[in-house]
Structure 1
């Protein structure tokens, strides 16, 4: 193993597995584990479970516990909150579906009520609760549940298209600054809708290629520092529009590897920084997209292993 000042260029797979499995046992109040920060309990579970699955280390672990937990997070309005007793939130609804799909346990919740809750969030302008993040979330969830007939698809698509800027990127709302995370959401939504022909690939490709910094990692917008989480958001957009050739994949891989903790496992946002489950998941997901280290292939549209998509959602082509 090559290690220089706490940096390794070897993928420490077993240490990542140990780190992820240890999250629920830690008492660190700042940890984002299965059951640590109240409002991040469900998101933390998604990041952890999906990372373990990509590592081929999930093996049905905690299925009954997680299924019962998510079931208890579904509220009377049909939506799902980030923890028991928390208000429903559209993002947590998608996390719940993605987790249960990986356990093949979608029947644990009322998916009809969940789909109705999400569909009812659509506004007159076609958006969902305001910005393009939630448009992606709604379109992804309703497509997975085969419930797109509940919304005005044309309005949803048109809102996303209005978020496209002259520089090629996409923002949170029309006329907002282009940002890698929102670009992922808009391109992911258009990919799911089958509307990538409406994307200016050349213009977007230029903007995406400019997100790679001299360190090899991506930033979210111009003049910002690189961050491992953008490895997924930028790379997934690249793969959706088949423009991954614009990226120096070897430099990106090295950046992600340099953000690992070579002794304890886990991945941080930048080399030498504290690791967390959020960046660990996104780093592993990006490496999966790049077909590195025999990781399970991940779907760039839905952010779950492709095998789950094929087995649990056969209606999706």
Structure 2
């Protein structure tokens, strides 16, 4: 018998994450872990129950992470270990933190009136490489498909694409398509479920998915994703199913319009088997230790296939549809100013 979703325990799990960051959480991941927990509570419909009195403090904390007016170093940083008042060369925005910071503000109901759009765009523009990829921060960092996706999410949220050279970003994505039809982290690299999602979601957010990929390319991409299912989904051939890929590949299938061709019941059974029925949260596999990333993405994957009593997830931006509707209202007000 397929286990049931332990909604109350997962709600408690995410609340604990916000109250006490896991000891293994590096400072560079603090905002990301906060996003997992805040968005997880949102999908569970428990945001107001657990954060009603703490929302303002959470919003203020996120805004303290914003570095504005710093030219190419602008954006959101991961934590406040170095006080903002002490300006140093180490104060530097990070694309993933800028995305998760903006997304968290939306989920918490903020109107984004405190963001410095021009600075964020300037910082993001400085992170694009000549080949179209993005580094996480202008000070120098690894560059791959993840940060192309983060840049596209930031642009979509701000409703301003002037910080991206779209033609170069699209060229980088196309050059990263592997021989099997899926996408690697960069040109010549192995196809991967996570980078495939980042590439497809980036093209989708740019409104270019069906313009730059041929019908043959789309068919090969759909086939690769569908062939990645063996109960749940694996990220690379020969690897076991992993709960996070039920989102990465499940969301890709939804964006490609063929989610119904996968076996949602098999996927649901796999993901629910990875949940910790005592403490809450999800692990990579059955009986594996839970962590915030798999806890959140496991929940997102269930939302994608219509799990009862979960908020609908927006696959491209990886936030709830409720938060996305709030974003559209904000953007409409921006247009009418």
- Tell me the SS of whatever aligns to 1:268: coil
In the TM superposition, what whole-angstrom CA distance separates every residue of 1:165-218 from its partner, at most 9, and x where no partner exists?
2211001111111000000000000111111213322101111122112xx121
User: Which residue in 1 is equivalent to 2:11?
Assistant: 17
In the TM superposition, what whole-angstrom CA distance separates every residue of 1:66-97 from its partner, at most 9, and x where no partner exists?
22211221234322111113642111110001
The 3 A distance-change label for structure 1 pair 25 and 102 is closer
Cα distance in structure 2, aligned partners of 1:127 and 1:310: 29
Gaps of 5+ in 1: 3-7
Report matched runs for 1:1-317 at 5 Å: 9-26=3-20, 29-30=23-24, 32=25, 37-59=26-48, 60-61=51-52, 62-75=54-67, 76=70, 77-84=73-80, 85=82, 87-105=92-110, 106-129=112-135, 130-197=143-210, 198-199=212-213, 200-213=217-230, 216-314=231-329, 315=331
- Tell me the SS of whatever aligns to 2:241: coil
Cα distance in structure 2, aligned partners of 1:295 and 1:122: 36
Cα distance in structure 2, aligned partners of 1:254 and 1:235: 14
Cα distance in structure 2, aligned partners of 1:53 and 1:148: 28
In the TM superposition, what whole-angstrom CA distance separates every residue of 1:217-260 from its partner, at most 9, and x where no partner exists?
21110111211111110001000001113311111100110001
Cα distance in structure 2, aligned partners of 1:312 and 1:88: 22
Question: How large is the RMSD of aligned CA atoms in angstroms?
Answer: 1.8
Cα distance in structure 1, aligned partners of 2:22 and 2:161: 41
CA contact (8 A) 1:126 1:152 kept: yes
Cα distance in structure 2, aligned partners of 1:112 and 1:103: 23
Runs in 1 of length 4+ with deviation above 6 angstroms?
Answer: none
Gaps of 5+ in 2: 83-90, 136-142, 333-337
CA contact (8 A) 1:78 1:110 kept: no
Cα distance in structure 2, aligned partners of 1:147 and 1:48: 28
Q: Which shows bigger deviation, 81-90 or 52-61?
A: 81-90
CA contact (8 A) 1:169 1:179 kept: yes
CA contact (8 A) 2:17 2:34 kept: no
